[in-house]
């Protein structure tokens, strides 16, 4: 009890915080102006009330001056009106400047990545891999109702000095710090994140995979329920990322080689793949999870009625294309379809 009292005396009375100072001073001016106005002016106007005195004090402090109430006595003018005008205006200006400074400081801290966020079911993007790439990812995600534009997004990067204005206008949050440290992950609210995307900081350097492995390990150690998608350069890193516990791994070098070879053998294949993978226009590939067992032919019919083409199925055993229609698809498996928008299958 004594320690609490000592802390209260040292930190509140001797060195009170600025908000408390402002509140006490504003309260003192309001009390002084209200009581002083009534003390000197009641004799001239017996109908005055406490609310009238408070109204006069506030109007005088804010320099509005409606003129509905004003002092008629010398005491009311010189002992109440002038002090309120001199002290009140200055105090109100000081309070507004403190509020403005707090808002500016808060915005600056957020732009510099120094803030902490209390978010839930959000997406965290690790490593700033270029503005164009980040914007393309956000555009694609926003076009799918499963993600939507309302899902909060946090960008975590150690080398980025300030969040680009283009991302700030999108409402992206920024956390600057070492992405493998608990302090940085806590500020990004990784424990409550639904998705995490780990990009290669330097897409041409296989050594960047080492950082991504470490980030993935830090995430999985904090929250295994996070859907983690990791980008890597070297195919040799894929097996290590799987052991870490990543849900999905994208190897840029492997897919780059496939695109080059297929474009040589089948010119125009990249346009087809781009159309299927992009949500901007045209058709897109969807994985539709099933909640019941049924023959594959039944699901094909349902999808055809909804202008979706079924390519195959996806299960724990892998992907199967051109599945025989007599095959029974189990609950929990997914249909691989192509269509203009995501559908639900009863």
Q: Is 294 a residue whose pLDDT tops 60?
A: yes
Q: What is the CA radius of gyration of the chain?
A: 32
289, 146 contact by CB (below 8 A): no
Phi and psi of 102, rounded to 5°?
Answer: -65, -45
The predicted-structure confidence for 134-155, as pLDDT tens digits, reads as follows 999 998 888 877 777 788 999 9
| Per-residue pLDDT band at 2 (split at 50, 70, 90) | low
Domains 123-256 and 283-339 share a fold: no
| Per-residue pLDDT band at 8 (split at 50, 70, 90) | low
Cβ neighbours around 302 below 10 Å, total = 16
CA distance 214 to 180: 7
The predicted-structure confidence for 188-199, as pLDDT tens digits, reads as follows 999 999 999 999
Q: Is 201 a residue whose pLDDT tops 90?
A: no
Q: Is 278 a residue whose pLDDT tops 70?
A: yes
Domain locations along the chain: 2-111, 123-256, 283-339
User: What sign has the CA pseudo-torsion 187, 191, 192, 196?
Assistant: positive
The predicted-structure confidence for 207-255, as pLDDT tens digits, reads as follows 889 999 999 999 999 998 999 999 998 888 888 899 888 999 998 888 7
For residue 3, the model assigns a pLDDT of 60
Question: What's the CATH fold of domain 123-256?
Answer: Rossmann fold (3.40.50)
Residue 50, classified by CB atoms within 10 Å of its CB into exposed (0-12), middle (13-18) or buried (19+), is exposed
pTM: 0.69
Q: Is 259 a residue whose pLDDT tops 90?
A: no
CA distance 170 to 107: 15
Rounded to the nearest 10 degrees, how much is the dihedral formed by the CA atoms of 8, 9, 12, 13? 160
184, 222 contact by CB (below 8 A): no
Q: What is the mean pLDDT of residues 290-307?
A: 90
Percent of the chain with pLDDT over 90: 31
Note the CATH number of domain 2-111: 1.10.287.70
What the block records as the tokens of 268 is: 């125009």
Note the CATH number of domain 283-339: 3.30.70
Q: What is the mean pLDDT of residues 12-39?
A: 82
| Highest mean pLDDT (candidates 24-28, 40-44, 335-339) | 335-339
């Amino acid at each position: 009890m004594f320690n609490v009292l000592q802390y209260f005396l040292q930190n509140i009375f001797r060195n009170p915080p600025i908000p408390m100072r402002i509140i006490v001073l504003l309260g003192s001016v309001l009390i002084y102006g209200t009581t002083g106005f009534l003390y000197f002016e009641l004799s001239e106007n017996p109908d005055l009330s406490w609310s009238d005195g408070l109204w006069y004090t506030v109007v005088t402090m804010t320099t509005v001056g409606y003129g509905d109430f004003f002092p008629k006595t010398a005491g009311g003018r010189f002992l109440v009106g002038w002090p309120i005008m001199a002290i009140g205006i200055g105090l109100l200006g000081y309070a507004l400047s403190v509020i403005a400074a707090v808002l500016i400081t808060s915005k600056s801290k957020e732009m510099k990545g120094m803030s902490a966020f209390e978010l839930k079911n959000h997406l965290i993007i690790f490593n700033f891999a270029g503005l164009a790439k980040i914007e393309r990812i956000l555009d694609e995600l926003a076009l799918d109702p499963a993600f939507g534009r309302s899902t909060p997004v946090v960008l975590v990067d150690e080398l980025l000095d300030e969040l680009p204005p283009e991302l700030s206008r999108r409402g992206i949050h920024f956390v600057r710090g070492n992405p493998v440290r608990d302090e940085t992950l806590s500020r990004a609210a990784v424990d409550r994140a639904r998705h995490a995307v780990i990009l290669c900081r330097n897409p041409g350097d296989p050594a960047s995979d080492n950082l991504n492995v470490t980030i993935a390990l830090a995430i999985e150690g904090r929250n295994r329920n996070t859907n983690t998608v990791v980008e890597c350069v070297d195919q040799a890193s894929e097996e290590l990322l799987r052991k870490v516990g990543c849900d999905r791994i994208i190897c840029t070098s492997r897919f780059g080689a496939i695109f080059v070879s297929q474009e040589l053998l089948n010119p125009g294949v990249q346009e087809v793949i781009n159309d299927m993978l992009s949500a901007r226009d045209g058709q897109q590939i969807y994985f539709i999870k099933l909640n019941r067992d049924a023959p594959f032919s039944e699901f094909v019919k349902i999808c055809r009625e909804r202008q979706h083409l079924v390519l195959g199925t996806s299960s724990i055993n892998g992907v199967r294309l051109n599945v025989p229609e007599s095959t029974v698809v189990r609950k929990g498996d997914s249909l691989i379809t192509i269509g203009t928008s995501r559908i639900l299958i009863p």
